Structure 1
Amino acid sequence: MARTAAPRGRGRPRAGEELDVSRLLAGALDAFADKGYDGMSVRELSRRLGVSHALLTARFGSKEGLWFAAMEYALAWLESSWRQLAETPELDDLEALRQGIIRQVSFSAAHPQVSRIMSHEGAIDSARVRFVVDRFVNPLRALVEERLDRLIADGRIRSMPYATLHYLVVQGAAAPFACPVEAGLLGAAQPSGPDDVRRHAETVADLLIAGLSSLPPLPLDAPGEGH
């Protein structure tokens, strides 16, 4: 009587077995978010991911190569989403900005590891932080600024430094997901499902849009004020 193969448990792939790359990249995000790039050794990465050091090196080249691949895996959908909004000319500029903020915050809820990783990386100059900025942030910034510039020129929003808007959305709005312990101590309940995430994202978007749309008052000595 033929034996039935035992269920496959977690562990290193057998010779010739295909790697589940998406699982490895998701696991790498978790690992780098927990300890940062420098704090995560290749040995511990291998242990966490259930593959040998040799397999990781063969697939990604190095620990840094795995870091790049994991961030590319996480950020590719977000890049596509922002581009779709930026390149939809029939969508009103202000609504496109609102939808982009909602999508960014929703992404942060789904991938809190990215915010944690960038908190590690953003404080030091390295090829890794430059990779994220050059590969994702700056190309998308150019697309977003096209709409922002039109809104400012039309008098619909106030001017704001791009970095200010970036950090309010990317880091500030993501903080409840990236820092759940601190958020809990502040009395913030963790979102229990997509509806909660959507409400948080829409609240953030509406507050930011309202603030941008509230044009600052003219100075008292402005021309036309009768002084």
Structure 2
Amino acid sequence: MVRAAAARGRGRPRAGEGLDLAHLLRGALDAFAESGYDGTSVRELARRLGVSHALLTARFGSKEGLWFAAMEHALTLIEPAWRDSAQSPELDDLVVLRNAIIEQVLFSAAYPQVLRIMNHEGAIDSPRVRFVIERFANPLRPGVEALLSRLVDAGRIRDVPYATLHYLAVAGGGALYANPVEAALLGAPVHPDTDTVRAHAETVADVLIAGISAAPPPAR
């Protein structure tokens, strides 16, 4: 320990050294979800997280840089579910689609901030909303569309516009967790356990699949 400290030299630690990055980015998601981009101050966020404003600036460059990093931190967790939906030849295509929808809803339960943030950002053209579309949605879209095309060509689902399916799965399935006060007033549990969240995700997937199916949905 002494040798390592001596090698580093005296003075303040380098920007970001010893920083719990996941905790910081989760806190940033919370702040942007609560107040929106314009209503979030990096200085106030630094106080909230117990780090210096200078450290955040050195690590992320700007408030927008922090926003990008926070959203990337979250969205990379759901990215594999949709990417793998185009690369699962061992599974029935309709089962693959159902599984991806379930994973999307489970993600929304774990990171409800993302949908709240996109509710702020989705109505206004900005580099932030374009970042989400260009970094995550557009690269995944060809694979998902190929999966949907196979199902349409096989006569198993109706030809549904891509945006319609996107919003039904993402916003429709995740709204229960993005809007917890409204959901509680409608009778949803305030602190749902894992089984309850899973049951909701499966129900969303089954209703969605049944709605677009040209034939009965597959057995689980």
Fold in common (TM above 0.5): yes
TM-score (norm 2): 0.88
Name the SS for the 1:39 alignment partner. Answer: coil
Show the counterpart of 1:131. Answer: 131
Show the counterpart of 1:109. Answer: 109
Q: Is the 8 A contact 1:176 1:190 kept in 2?
A: no
Cα drift, residue 191 of structure 1: 5.1
2:77 is equivalent to residue 66 of structure 1: no
Structure 1: give runs of 5+ residues left out of the alignment: 1-13, 216-227
Show the counterpart of 2:75. Answer: 75
Name the SS for the 1:86 alignment partner. Answer: coil
Separation of aligned partners in 2, 1:162 and 1:130: 17
The equivalences for 1:11-160 within 5 A come to 15-16=12-13, 17-160=17-160
Cα drift, residue 53 of structure 1: 1.2
Separation of aligned partners in 2, 1:147 and 1:214: 15
Separation of aligned partners in 2, 1:48 and 1:126: 26
Name the SS for the 2:76 alignment partner. Answer: helix
Separation of aligned partners in 1, 2:181 and 2:105: 18
Separation of aligned partners in 1, 2:192 and 2:177: 12
Separation of aligned partners in 2, 1:104 and 1:82: 8
Q: Which amino acid aligns with 1:47?
A: R
RMSD: 1.3
Return 46-55 or 102-111, whichever deviates more.
46-55
Separation of aligned partners in 2, 1:61 and 1:91: 44
Q: Is the 8 A contact 1:156 1:213 kept in 2?
A: yes
Separation of aligned partners in 1, 2:144 and 2:85: 9
Deviations 1:41-90 (A, max 9, x none): 12211111211111001100110000000000001111022222321222
Separation of aligned partners in 2, 1:142 and 1:33: 29
Separation of aligned partners in 1, 2:84 and 2:149: 18
Deviations 1:16-52 (A, max 9, x none): 2511111111110001001000000122111112111
Separation of aligned partners in 1, 2:55 and 2:26: 16
Structure 2: give runs of 5+ residues left out of the alignment: 1-10, 216-220
Separation of aligned partners in 2, 1:87 and 1:76: 17
Aligned sequence identity (%)? 68
Q: Which amino acid aligns with 1:88?
A: S
TM-score (norm 1): 0.86
Deviations 1:77-123 (A, max 9, x none): 11022222321222211111000000000000000000000000001
Q: Is the 8 A contact 1:24 1:49 kept in 2?
A: yes
Show the counterpart of 1:177. Answer: 177
Larger Rg: 1
Separation of aligned partners in 2, 1:80 and 1:199: 22
**Aligned residue pairs: how many?**
202
Q: Is the 8 A contact 2:85 2:143 kept in 1?
A: no
Q: Which amino acid aligns with 1:193?
A: D
